[in-house]
Amino acid sequence: MSATTWPELPWSAWSQTAETLHMWTQIVGKTRLALTPLQNHWWNVPLYVSARGLTTSAMAYGNDTLDIEFDFLSHELRLRMSSGRNETLALKPMSVAEFYREYRQRLQSLGVSVKIWPMPVEVQNPTRFDIDTWHRSYDPEYAHRFWQVLARAEKVFRAWAPGFMGKVSPVHFFWGSFDLAVTRFSGRPAPPREGTDSIQREAYSHEVISAGFWPGNGGYGDAAFYCYAAPVPEGLSEKKISPAAAVWDKTLGEYIFRYETLRLQPSPDAALLEFIESAYAAAADAAKWDRKTLERRL
């Protein structure tokens, strides 16, 4: 696949749209959090890549079922009930406060009552949704490109899955950190993480190796793929992986493969799969995972 299949996504060109969209996805994501029972490692809270954008998947509501989808082709938020009722909200430049108000009105029109904590999570200097008039950008071209990258990345992440027999997460989009991720587990409990809250303790209760993509938010400023182990095994930072363009980031404590570098590879899909597998193998060996039991040759 050529580089044109993976669209350009420079953070500087769409950071304001991304930050606004981050807040919008948190609002919808918190609806899923409120309507679904707790699953291990908070697997009940993410969104999922769909054929048109990002979706909550089906959520039970009384005797009915609700799903909500960000449609990045028609640029609408779609709220659908299994009873046949539905509502839409146009995705366009508007403040987070306006989106929050309009979204709550759409839920009310469907007869859905849900309590949403209006404070964003996992961001610096958060502003309540209902008073956030600062984040108000929406560039449909870049929202569409972002979804294209997520869809292509998910395809590669899924292609990586069949070689693993152990516990593995779905490929899911975490609206708190605004990234797409898939996680493998060794099956062994992890040491308690000192100084963390209950959310982090639940997320990292067992040894994991995660691979994912994030667009550059959180101060990083550049779209990149990543792979990390938690806890970080001794000696991991010294291990070389492939492709050669992938590096160990000392600040983040994980392997990084910059998106712009990947998209210019002769086969970005193959290069991404090579990165994930190479980084996983380095981490699994350093952590002394039982790879003979956890893996299978295809």
Confirm if 166 and 185 have CB atoms less than 8 A apart.
Answer: yes
Both 201 and 279 in one domain: the answer is: yes
Find the domain containing 106 and state its range.
12-131
Q: Are residues 284 and 172 in the same domain?
A: yes
- The answer to whether residue 105 sits within a structural domain is yes
pLDDT number for residue 224: 98
Whether 84 and 192 map to the same domain: the answer is no
Q: Are residues 166 and 243 in the same domain?
A: yes
CB 5 within 8 A of CB 266: no
Same domain, 124 and 149: no
Q: Would 236 be classed as within a structural domain? A: yes
Same domain for 104 and 73, yes or no, is: yes
Give the model's pLDDT for residue 4: 57
Does 4 reside within a domain? no
pLDDT tens, N- to C-terminus, the chain (298 residues): 445 589 999 999 999 999 999 999 999 999 999 999 999 999 999 999 999 999 999 999 999 999 999 999 999 999 999 999 999 999 999 999 999 999 999 999 999 999 999 999 999 999 999 999 999 999 999 999 999 999 999 999 999 999 999 999 999 999 999 999 999 999 999 998 777 777 888 888 999 999 999 999 988 999 999 999 999 999 999 999 999 999 999 999 999 999 999 999 999 999 999 999 999 999 999 999 999 999 998 7
* Domain end marker among 131, 164, 193: 131
Same domain as 233, residue 215: yes
Is the residue at 7 inside a domain? Answer: no
**Does any domain span residue 53?**
yes
Same domain, 210 and 126: no
Are residues 107 and 30 located together in one domain of the fold?
Answer: yes
Same domain, 109 and 146: no
pLDDT of residue 2: 47
The residue among 131, 156, 173 that closes a domain is 131
Q: How many domains does the chain have?
A: 2
Does any domain span residue 283?
yes
Same domain for 145 and 120: no
Give the domain-ending residue among 131, 164, 194.
131
150 and 224, same domain (yes or no): yes
Task: Report which of 42, 61, 295, 30 is spatially closest to residue 161, judged by C-alpha positions.
Answer: 295
